[in-house]
Amino acid sequence: MNFEALAATVSAAITDVPDFPKEGILFKDISTVLQRPEAFRAALSFFEHAARDSDADAIIGLESRGFLFGAPVAATLGLPFVLARKPGKLPRAVVQAEYELEYGTDALEMHTDALGPATRALIVDDLIATGGTAEAAGKLVRKVGGVVAGYAFLLELDFLKGRERLDATIHSLIHV
């Protein structure tokens, strides 16, 4: 697989938005990737490769942009797709994992019965910054007896060193 070509195609479709949602943050807007089918397909090819490479038997999508990439990849590969959502959104029994924000904490939830025991799950999101969200997702997988097969992101903000918080293989298409 030609990752350089995929990265170039996806990269060209990402829009940098300075000072969103607040001053000093350079927001990486992937809505323009979704608007361009060639870039969207390139992104999905990358995630498909990550899922095959990590021998995943389920895909976990992180709310909300992780859903956009995780769900089509799971359907294409014939794997279950599982939602990791913000608190209060999932209707049945859940497990919860908290993570730190700049001010305070947030949490992710997953249905308790969403993964079978020992299921190898690939955790998918658009971007890893501090790694707190992905780390919490890993905890959810383990809480229900699953195994983290790996993590996959279109973008990794290297300078925030989020990968140091994660303890399985990390696939990142574009490093910033």
Q: Would you name the residues annotated as active-site residues?
A: 65, 102
Question: What does the radius of gyration of the chain's CA atoms come to, in whole angstroms?
Answer: 15
Q: Residue from 128, 137, 154, 170 that binds ligand AMP (CB under 6 A)?
A: 128
Four-point Cα dihedral 119, 51, 93, 167, nearest 10: 80
For ligand AMP, the closer of residues 72 and 162 by Cβ is 162
Residues 25-64 as x/- pattern, contact with ligand AMP by CB under 6 A: xxxx---------------------------------x--
Q: Residue from 74, 83, 110, 129 that binds ligand AMP (CB under 6 A)?
A: 129
Do 122 and 60 form a contact (C-beta atoms < 8 A)? yes
What is d(CA 59, CA 77) in angstroms, rounded to the nearest whole number?
10
CB of 139 to ligand AMP, least distance (A): 13
**Beta pairing class for 105-111 and 120-128:** unpaired
CB of 100 to ligand AMP, least distance (A): 9
CB of 92 to ligand AMP, least distance (A): 23
For ligand AMP, the closer of residues 57 and 110 by Cβ is 110
Q: Quick check: 96 binds ligand AMP (CB under 6 A)?
A: no
Residue at token pair 């949490």: 107
Instruction: Cite the beta strand spans of the chain per DSSP E.
Output: 15-18, 26-29, 58-62, 81-84, 94-100, 105-111, 120-128, 147-156, 170-175
CB of 89 to ligand AMP, least distance (A): 15
- Scan residues 98-127 and list those touching ligand AMP (CB under 6 A): 125-127
* Contacts of residue 57, Cβ cutoff 8 Å, sequence gap at least 6: 79, 80, 119, 120, 121, 149
Q: Which residues bind ligand AMP (CB under 6 A)?
A: 25-28, 62, 65, 125-134, 162
